[in-house]
Amino acid sequence: MLSIEHFYLLLAAFLGYAGWRNLRQRRFAHAAFWGLIALLFAAGGPVLRASKAGDALPAQFAGAAVIALAVLATRMRREPLYEAPESERRASALRLGHRLFLPALLIPALTIAVVLAGPHLVLGGTPVFASAGLTLTGLALACLVSAIAAVAVTRQRPLQAADEGRRLLDTMGWAALLPLVLATLGGVFAASGVGEAVASLVSAVIPADSRMACLLAFALGMVVFTVIMGNAFAAFPVMMAGIGLPLLVQRHGADAASLGAIGMLTGYCGTLLTPMAANFNIVPAVLLELDDQYGVIRAQAVTAFWLMGTNVLLMAWLCFR
């Protein structure tokens, strides 16, 4: 049975390779950073868990590892890494043409195929895919197939995929972990009762009997929390627990499905406005070598505010029909 945990081991192998390459180049902070993350991912794989080796890595180790990663991140420096000359890359792009898009398009197509067909695939009486985390398993499998397709289309060495992945990983640096860490932060906030505190504060400040006032508080809260935490996934559980469910759904009868969908999109308006979403707004500026490191945010700001206003109108129209 294929599960997301099998891909944890594959990801751990790739991160270990990135650490080894950095170690050979005497980039010790990078090597330790990726090697430590590789160990954490490997500890969640089925092989270690089945052999009880995972008991050697208790939760306290994971906590200490997070602190170590934060220290190592301060020592990581962006340095030029070898890549093919621009003339060679342009010639390759012209030769391959639109075939370059095939590996990228395979990722969403295969992910959807696994999600839809996965529950019905059985081999010898055993499901091919584990039901838990089916979407993530489909995405991981699609990325693997896409990498194989990219090697076939470009006719490069298979190891080239790992080398280019490692180069991109080192270019992004610690910011590559932000989506994972910030999404986890939202769960921590929700478990610690921040949602209830937000509900109490909102009820004291705004007229809770006003449907529009609650809706505006929910939309603005999604944007502000996303700006602070850098990820709408982190803001969503807090705002749904604090305003969405108790005030809009239970008190004013809003449709939970449409409120959640459009509310999440509203949170992404905050993503367009914050340097905390470094993987979206800061890393591209670095990769493109822009003079203004906040140039991406400035270009997106007008779109963010217009989209936020549109989402509020959509929620007012669709959530209370």
pLDDT at 6: 85
| Distance from C-alpha of 243 to C-alpha of 260, rounded to nearest angstrom | 12
Q: Rounded to whole angstroms, how far apart are CA atoms 132 and 180? A: 19
Residue 186: pLDDT band with limits 50, 70, 90: low
Residue matched to tokens 């705002």: 239
CA atoms within 13 A on the CB side of 295: 11
Q: Do residues 272 and 303 make contact, with C-beta atoms less than 8 angstroms apart?
A: yes
Mean pLDDT of 276-292: 76
N- to C-terminal Cα separation, the chain = 43
Residue 278 has pLDDT above 80, yes or no: no
47 pLDDT higher than 50:
no
State the average pLDDT over residues 115-130.
Answer: 84
pLDDT of residue 51: 46
Q: Which two three-digit tokens encode residue 24?
A: 């050979």
Helix (H) or strand (E) holding 151: helix 134-154
Model confidence pLDDT, tens digit, residues 132-160: 788 888 899 999 999 999 888 888 888 88
pLDDT for position 44? 65
Q: Where are the domains of the chain?
A: 4-73, 86-156, 177-318
pLDDT score at 52: 47
* Confidence check: pLDDT of 164 > 90: no
Both structure tokens of 182: 């910030």
- Beta carbons of 217 and 206 less than 8 angstroms apart: yes
Q: 318 Cβ partners below 8 Å, 6+ apart?
A: 255, 258, 262
Residues sharing a CB contact under 8 Å with residue 236, sequence separation 6 or more, in sequence order: 186, 222, 260, 263, 264, 267
Give mean pLDDT, residues 69-81.
81
pLDDT at 90: 80
CB atoms within 10 A of CB 110: 19
Q: Is 319 in contact with 263 (CB distance < 8 Å)?
A: no
pLDDT in tens, 48-69: 454 444 455 677 788 888 899 9
Mean pLDDT estimate for the chain: 83
Q: How many whole angstroms separate alpha carbon 11 and alpha carbon 176?
A: 14
What confidence score (pLDDT) does residue 80 get?
Answer: 65
Among the ranges given (6-10, 62-66, 174-178, 267-271), the one the predictor scored with the smallest mean pLDDT: 174-178
pTM: 0.70
Could you tell me the pLDDT band of residue 46, with boundaries at 50, 70 and 90?
low
3-state secondary structure 286-305: HHCCCCCCCHHHHHHHHHHH
What percentage of the chain's residues is helix, strand, coil (to nearest 5)? Answer: 80, 0, 20
